[in-house]
Amino acid sequence: MHPSPLPLFLRHAPQVARAGVAFMYDHFDFVRDGRTYKLRDALSTFTGSFSTGFIRGSKPKPASFELEVPYEGRVLTADALHVQLDRWVRRGVVELSCAAAIGQVAQTPAWLDLSDRYFVLLGASAAMGPLSVLLSLGANVIAVDLDQPRLWRRLIAQAQASCGTLTFPLAPGAQQHTLSHDELCAAAGCNLCTHLPELRHWLLQLHPHQPLCVGGYAYVPGEYFPRVALAMDVLIEALSEQRAAAVAFLCTPTDCHLIPAAAHAAAEEARRRAPWWQLAAAWASGGRLCAPNARAPVATAAGGRLYVCDALVIAQGPNYALAKRLQHWRAVLAHASGCLVSSNIAPSTRTASVTQNRHFAHAYDALPAFPPYEVPHPETSNAVMAALLLHDLHTPHPPLASPLLLFARGAFHGGAWRCAWRFDSIGALAVALYYWRTYVVRGYLLAYNALQAAGWGAVLLRLAAALAASAHASWWECAWPLFAVQNAALLEPIHAALHVVRAPLLPTALQVASRVGIVHLVAATPELHSTWPLLLLALAWGLTEVVRYSWYAINTLTTPARPHSWLRYSTFIVLYPLGVAGELLYVYSALDHLEGVPVLGVRASTIVWCAVYPSYAVGLPILYVHMLRQRAKALSQRARTIFTAASKEHVHSADKEV
> Helix, strand, or coil here: 474?
coil
From 163, 181, 213, 137, select the one nearest 58 (Cα to Cα). 163
CA gap 382, 376 in Å, rounded? 10
DSSP 171-196: -TT--GGG--HHHHHHHB---TTTTH
- H-type alpha helices, 395-426: none
Question: Count of alpha carbons within 13 Å of 146, Cβ hemisphere only?
Answer: 12
With b for 16 or more beta-carbon neighbours within 10 A and e for fewer, the 441-464 pattern comes to beeebbebbbebbbbbbbbbebbe
CA gap 190, 30 in Å, rounded? 16
Q: Please pick, among 25, 37, 444, 576, the residue that the annotation labels catalytic.
A: 576
CA gap 475, 536 in Å, rounded? 11
583 a catalytic residue: yes
From 422, 473, 410, 511, select the one nearest 85 (Cα to Cα). 410
**What are 309's strand-pairing partners?**
257
With b for 16 or more beta-carbon neighbours within 10 A and e for fewer, the 356-366 pattern comes to eeeebebbbbb
Query: In 529-658, where do the E strands start and end?
Result: 598-599, 602-603
For the chain, how many residues are written?
658
> Helix, strand, or coil here: 289?
coil
- Preceding peptide of 372 cis, ω within 30°: yes
CA gap 109, 125 in Å, rounded? 26
From 352, 350, 357, 358, select the one nearest 435 (Cα to Cα). 358
CA gap 218, 241 in Å, rounded? 21
576 a catalytic residue: yes
Q: Please pick, among 68, 374, 545, 583, the residue that the annotation labels catalytic.
A: 583
Residues 219 and 228: beta-carbon distance below 8 Å: yes
Residues 6+ away with beta carbon under 8 Å from 582:
533, 534, 535, 536, 537, 538, 539, 540
Question: Count of alpha carbons within 13 Å of 616, Cβ hemisphere only?
Answer: 17
**What are 51's strand-pairing partners?**
170
Alpha-carbon distances, residue 149 vs 131, 181, 655 (angstroms):
18, 10, 14
Return the DSSP state at 145: -
CA gap 244, 22 in Å, rounded? 21
Active site (catalytic) residues: 576, 583
